[in-house]
């Protein structure tokens, strides 16, 4: 009976993580659809966060009130969680949204998907963590895949596309730093409370950024279809997948979630082809296979090394 319960528990974890990964995969496609309207990266990110903020504030309140005072994180820990959240969900998200103004959705997803290798590089540079041979091999495969995609299509070598790729790579770097710094704070706060604090702080930062730099009246003047797409992005590509992934990770661990998340770029690619009409030829197929193969190689080998750390 216990083994059946354990198997069911883990199966539920894989289902939750897969569902979260697939929902995250629609973000880039929704952003490209929204960019058909007169809105830029900062304004769109501001709307996304404003629509998401009430949910994260509610989760913060519930998680805080259900804990006895001695189990609540201190002010310093809350401040660290807020700063890490701004790094991961303001800076990283803004760079990603800005890159998508010129970059294809499928290429954006593949570049972001290489962030685990950046976690290792920053871990080595900042925290003196060891570099692993299988990680370097995986990184080589993945970045070779991106080189194939860009090198085979002259259109991707335009200043606009390369600029977009650099912005998304910067987003991946910022998210890698977020992952690196978040781990210790998550242990102090717990996953749900940490997520609520981090996302609330990021939302407040983004909303202030938007109010200071954007014409709010123009945002409210957008047509109803644009608002429906933005609401869908806030709910189905932000709030729901964040909590699905957290619940899945609690059941199968970070490595299991990383493995199942390989479905994310494939979903993005299929939607980008079907909904946005993006091209998919031999270069895209080869590049995708190399990127997924590199990340998959690293993740599978690392998942068998319980004492390893990035």
Model pLDDT for residues 11-25, shown as the tens digit of each residue: 888 888 889 889 989
% of the chain surpassing 90 pLDDT: 62
257/291: higher pLDDT = 291
pLDDT band at 296 (very low <50, low <70, confident <90, very high): confident
- 306 pLDDT more than 80: no
Tens digits of per-residue pLDDT, 236-284? 999 999 888 878 877 776 666 767 777 889 999 999 999 999 989 999 9
Res 1: pLDDT:
41
Average pLDDT, the chain: 89
Tokens of residue 183, six digits: 């781990």
pLDDT at 66 over 50: yes
Cα–Cα distance for residue pair 174/168, rounded to 1 Å:
10
| Structure confidence at residue 159 (pLDDT) | 93
pLDDT at 255: 62
What are the residue ranges spanned by the domains of the chain?
9-303
pLDDT at 305 over 60: no
112 versus 254: which is more confidently predicted?
112
Over residues 66-89, mean pLDDT: 94
pLDDT in tens, 131-166: 778 888 888 999 999 999 998 888 888 999 999 999
Average pLDDT estimate for 193-210: 96
The three-state DSSP-derived secondary structure of the chain is CHHHHHHHHHHHHHHHHHHHHHHHHCHHHHHHHHCCCCCCHHHHHHHHHHHHHHHHHHHHHHHHHCCCHHHCCCHHHHHHHHHHHHHHHHHHHHHHHHHCCCCCHHHHHHHHCCHHHHHHHHHHHHHCCCCCHHHHHHHHHHHHHHHHHHHHCHHHHCHHHHHHHHHHHHHHHHHHHHHHHHHHHHHHHCHHHHHHHHHHHHHHHHHHHHHHHCCHHHHHCCCHHHHHHHHHHHHHHHHHHHHHHHHHHHHHHHHHHHHHCCHHHHHHHHHHHHHHCCCCCHHHHHHHHHHHHHHHHHHHHHHCCCCCCC
Look at residue 21 in the predicted model and tell me its pLDDT: 87
pTM for the structure as a whole: 0.91
Of 40-54, 87-101, 173-187, 249-263, the poorest mean pLDDT is in 249-263
């Amino acid at each position: 009976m216990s083994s059946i319960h354990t198997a069911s528990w883990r199966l539920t974890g894989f289902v939750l993580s897969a569902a979260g990964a697939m929902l995250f995969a629609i973000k880039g496609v929704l952003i490209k659809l929204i960019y058909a309207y007169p809105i830029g990266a900062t304004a769109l990110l501001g709307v996304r966060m404003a629509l998401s903020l009430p949910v994260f504030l509610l989760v913060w309140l519930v998680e805080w009130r259900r804990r006895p005072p001695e189990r609540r994180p201190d002010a310093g820990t809350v401040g660290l969680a807020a700063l890490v959240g701004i790094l991961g969900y303001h800076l990283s998200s803004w760079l990603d949204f800005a890159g998508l103004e010129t970059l294809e959705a499928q290429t954006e997803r593949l570049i972001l998907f290489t962030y685990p290798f950046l976690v290792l590089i920053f871990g080595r540079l900042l925290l003196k963590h060891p570099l692993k041979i299988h990680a370097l091999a995986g990184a080589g495969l993945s970045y070779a895949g991106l080189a194939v995609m860009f090198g085979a299509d002259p259109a991707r070598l335009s200043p606009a596309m390369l600029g977009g790729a650099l912005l998304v790579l910067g987003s991946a770097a910022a998210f890698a730093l977020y992952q690196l710094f978040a781990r210790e704070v998550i242990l102090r706060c717990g996953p749900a409370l940490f997520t609520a604090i981090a996302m609330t702080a990021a939302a407040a930062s983004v909303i202030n950024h938007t109010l200071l730099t954007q014409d709010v009246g123009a945002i409210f003047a957008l047509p109803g279809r644009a608002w429906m797409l933005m609401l869908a992005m806030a709910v189905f590509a932000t709030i729901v997948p964040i909590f699905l992934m957290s619940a899945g990770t609690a059941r199968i661990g970070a490595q299991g979630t990383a493995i199942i998340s390989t479905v994310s770029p494939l979903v993005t690619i299929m939607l980008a082809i079907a909904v946005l009409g993006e091209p998919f030829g031999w270069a895209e197929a080869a590049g995708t296979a190399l990127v997924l193969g590199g990340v998959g190689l690293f993740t599978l080998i690392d998942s068998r090394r319980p004492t390893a750390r990035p």
